[in-house]
A and B are shown apart, each in its own frame.
Chain A
Amino acid sequence: MKILLIEDHPELARSIVAYLTQEHYLCEVAATFDEAREKLILFTYDCVLLDIMLPDGNGINLLKLLRKDGVESSVIIISAQNALDFKLTGLSEGADDYITKPFPLPELHARIKAVMRRRSPHKSNVLTFLDLTADLESMECRVNGKLLSLTRKETNLLLYFINNKGRMLTRQAIAAHLWGDYTDNLDSVDFVYQHVKNLRKKITDAGGKDYISTVYGLGYKLNAAG
């Protein structure tokens, strides 16, 4: 999986690259409009992460150029502008998704995965983690083949865990993922606790191991150790 990150802030770019490399992506960086254009002409990328404000141009124009040249890559806009701006200005035209800065890295990862899946429907639509499986088509989750009766939010939560297995997920990141714009994450950490608790209970009730561990009351992690 090749990703091109177009971001002029070097430190943020470095962090994103470090994270995505850990997740086994090949990640290249372009810091300017021109550099990005050049790279997009020369190489093919599965996914482009595009910052809108570039020192020598606007990411939206780059997106238009991309689409005009028939570049097929998925595009996720990374921007400091919020959802409302996108809705009000129709910025996200031609992009597959957008994510507002600052965002949790696991969230970015989850978005990339979702976008890539939409792009390649022939790929396997089942996520697995040890004896947990999640079918992305039917949205069914199983433990050792046994169907779990999860709510939509719980399913979403489990997918998020599997996508970011082995990583510590803060409650805030989980809240942002589950409720997005609907609520400011500051007071939804209790809700996250509730959801995680219910999910763990459902998995263990179905005979699964409790793979989700609490990290010092700060967040959660899905790992084999349990």
Chain B
Amino acid sequence: MKLNHRYTLAYAVITLFVLSVGFAIVYGAMSRSVTQTTIGKLRHLNEVVAAQLRSGRDYAGHPARANVRIRPLAPSDTVAHAQLVQVRPEWDPELQSAVNVVRLSTYPRIGGQRYHLTSRAVVVMPSDEYLTGIVLVFAWTFVFLLALVVILSEVISWYILKPFNAILLSIERFQLSQKTTIGLQPSRTKEFNVLNDFLMKMTSRAQSDYQGLKEFSENASHELQTPIASMKAKIELLMDSELSEKQLLMLTTMHDELERLAKINQSLTLLAKLEHFEWEPAPLTDLSRLVPATEAAFADLAEMKGLRTTQQIAPGVRVPLDESLAQLLLNNLFSNAIRHNLPGGEIRVLLSATELLVENTGHAPSVPVAELFGRFKKGNAALDSIGIGLAIVKRISELYSHRVGYTYADGWHRIRVVFAAAGE
């Protein structure tokens, strides 16, 4: 729900409430004022009749007497009030309907004699049609108000929230890797400016952190490779000199560890590069060609381990992937399938238009399979692997929105890459 819609809704509810209260007040006031006006008229009538009585003339048959009853009071009668008002519904035979009858009693003293004057009038109470009329007035007012609120809130909120929407758009377009700062417009609204400042600070800090990290990973990896190369070269030179077996063994261990260091470094660098890899719309890579080619490249390794490889390759499978990244992905999948296999085991490769499935026999992984996509996770600690291959596979798949999954069942490891539809 949009912000201004929520406001509009709130206003609508408030308006409805206020109008209902207003309606109740108006209705009450109307009913009351009709009665009050009648009482006023009756008071006047009583005064007229009292004046007539004072004049001493005979006014019998005068129209003023039609609705007034005159009763002289005995001196023993006490008068509690100066006047008495009675309102009650009665059947009116002239109107043939129930009406409210208002009676006003006054007790004027005329020449030492107290009189009891009761005047009577019929009041038509605002009900039914009358009520409907009032309700309609209010309903129309409500509709009109609501329409106004809806239209105005759209216009006003568009105007007021313009900077806010601009901020949202900027955030949406913002990329950590972009060289420029986030583009934000200053606004006349204090809160938006506060938000702007905050976002500016936050994004520029994130950007500088990101740049720092990127430079660090690039420098670290690059600057480490040369010393490692130098050390390895020195060890190789040493190996060709006259050494005892013990010394050679030590050197070889050093050499292996350096090799491992270099490998870890390269893999991490590669992952970092993939994190920052800015891919254009991917070219289509022909997996129907690449998969068998990769299989062939690994064939001798598989053969030496006594593995049986079967492939089912659908023709003409072209998938959005950078070719060298696709090669990297396949290399990792195949070398894993060989490395984590059992002697005399099996590898099955299945390429269809929608997915690539690489299955291999092997021991059950010692950690949950989902974790194997993490870095330095090894399904089998006995093997001397770095445990980064699957992280690379996952990252490459993600780059192009392909989904990769790993399951283990009945002695088979299955890695499935489901291709994103081209042009998605």
* A residues adjacent to B (C-beta < 8 A): 9, 11-12, 15-16, 18-19, 22, 53, 80-85, 87-88, 100-106, 151, 153, 167-168, 170, 172-173, 179, 181-188, 190-191, 194-195, 215-216, 218-219
Given contacts A9-B227, A12-B233, A102-B229, 6 further A-B contacts (CB under 8 A): A12-B227, A53-B222, A87-B323, A101-B229, A182-B297, A187-B383
A80 touches B270 (CB 8 A): no
Chain A residues with CB under 8 A of B256: 172
B385 lies within 8 A of chain A by Cβ: yes
> In the complex the two chains form, what is the Cα distance from A119 to B223 in whole Å?
32
> Inter-chain contact count A-B, CB under 8 Å?
128
Known: A53-B222, A102-B262, A168-B239. A216 touches B245 (CB 8 A): yes
Q: Is there contact, CB below 8 Å, between B300 and A184?
A: no
If the complex has contacts A170-B239, A172-B255, A187-B339, are A179 and B226 also in contact, measured as CB distance less than 8 A? no
Does B230 contact A84, Cβ atoms closer than 8 Å? Answer: no
Contacts of A191 in B (CB 8 A): 300-301, 304
Closest A-B pairs by Cβ, 10 of them: A80-B225, A15-B233, A102-B229, A12-B230, A87-B324, A101-B229, A101-B225, A218-B252, A102-B228, A11-B230
Give the secondary structure class of B's interface. Answer: helix
The answer on a CB contact under 8 Å between A216 and B248 is yes
> Which residues of A lie under 8 Å from residue B273 when comparing CB positions?
84-85
Q: Give Cα A196 to B64, complex, Å.
A: 139
Which of B228, B233, B237, B255: most chain A Cβ within 10 A?
Answer: B233
Q: How distant is A111 from chain B, measured CB to nearest CB, in Å?
A: 14
Given contacts A81-B222, A85-B273, A186-B259, contact A11 B301 (CB under 8 A): no
Check if B386 sits within 8 Å of A186, measured CB to CB. yes
Chain A residues with CB below 8 A from B339, complex form: 187
Q: Which residues of A contact B270 (CB under 8 A)?
A: 82, 84
Residues in chain B within 8 A of chain A (CB atoms): 221-234, 236-237, 239-240, 245, 248-249, 252, 255-256, 258-260, 262-263, 266, 269-270, 273, 277, 297-298, 300-301, 304, 322-325, 328, 331, 335, 339, 383-386
A194 engages B304 (CB within 8 Å) = yes
Given A187-B339, A187-B383, also A18-B237 (CB < 8 A): yes
Can you name 11 A-B residue pairings with CB atoms under 8 Å?
A: A9-B230, A19-B236, A84-B270, A153-B300, A172-B259, A182-B331, A185-B259, A187-B339, A187-B383, A191-B300, A218-B248
Contact call A105/B383, Cβ cutoff below 8 A: no
Alpha-carbon separation in the docked complex, A9 to B383 (Å): 35
Kindly identify which residue among A11, A103, A184 contacts B335, using a CB–CB cutoff of 8 Å.
A184
Among A11, A15, A106, A181, the most chain B Cβ lie within 10 Å of the Cβ of A15
Assess whether B233 is in contact with A186, with CB atoms less than 8 Å apart. no
Contact (Cβ within 8 A) A104 B227: no
Output the least CB separation between B332 and chain A (Å): 9
Decide: A183 near B331, CB < 8 A? Known: A9-B230, A102-B228: yes
Contact A186 B263, beta carbon cutoff 8 Å = yes
Note all chain B residues with C-beta closer than 8 A to A190.
304
A179 proximity list for chain B (CB < 8 A): 301
* Pairwise interchain contact A104-B328, C-beta atoms closer than 8 A: no
* Nearest chain A residue, comparing its CB with the CB of B331: A182
Query: In the assembled complex, how far is the CB of residue A155 from the closest CB belonging to chain B, in whole angstroms?
Result: 12
Within the complex, the shortest CB–CB distance from A224 to chain B, in Å, comes to 16
Q: With A19-B233, A87-B324, A103-B229 given, is the CB distance from A187 to B331 under 8 Å?
A: no
With contacts A15-B230, A105-B237 taken as known, whether A186 is within 8 angstroms of B324 at the C-beta atoms is: no
A164 to B87, CA, bound (A): 127
Flag if B237 contacts A9 (CB, 8 Å): no
Q: Is the Cβ of A186 less than 8 Å from the Cβ of B384?
A: yes
Which residue of A11, A168, A184 has the most chain B CB atoms within 10 A of its CB atom?
A184
Is the beta-carbon distance between A101 and B335 smaller than 8 angstroms? no
Contact of A151 (CB < 8 Å), options: B231, B248, B300, B324: B300
Asked if B385 and A187 sit within 8 Å, CB to CB, the answer is yes
Which of B228, B255, B259, B323 has the most chain A CB within a 10 Å cutoff? B259
Judge whether A80 and B222 touch: CB under 8 Å.
yes
Task: Give the chain B neighbours of A85 by CB distance below 8 A.
Answer: 273
Please tell me if the beta carbons of A170 and B240 are within 8 angstroms of each other in the complex. no
Q: How far is the CB of B255 from chain A (nearest CB, A)?
A: 6
Instruction: Give the residues in chain A near B230, CB-CB below 8 Å.
Output: 9, 11-12, 15, 102
Contact check, B298 vs A182: say whether CB atoms are below 8 A apart: yes
Q: Check if A101 sits within 8 Å of B259, measured CB to CB.
A: no
Shortest Cβ gap from B116 to chain A (Å): 114
> Would you call A105 and B236 a contact (CB within 8 A)?
yes
A88 touches B324 (CB 8 A): yes
Contacts of A194 in B (CB 8 A): 304
The one of A9, A84, A106 that contacts B226, using a Cβ cutoff of 8 Å: A9
User: How close is B347's CB to chain A, nearest CB, in angstroms?
Assistant: 14
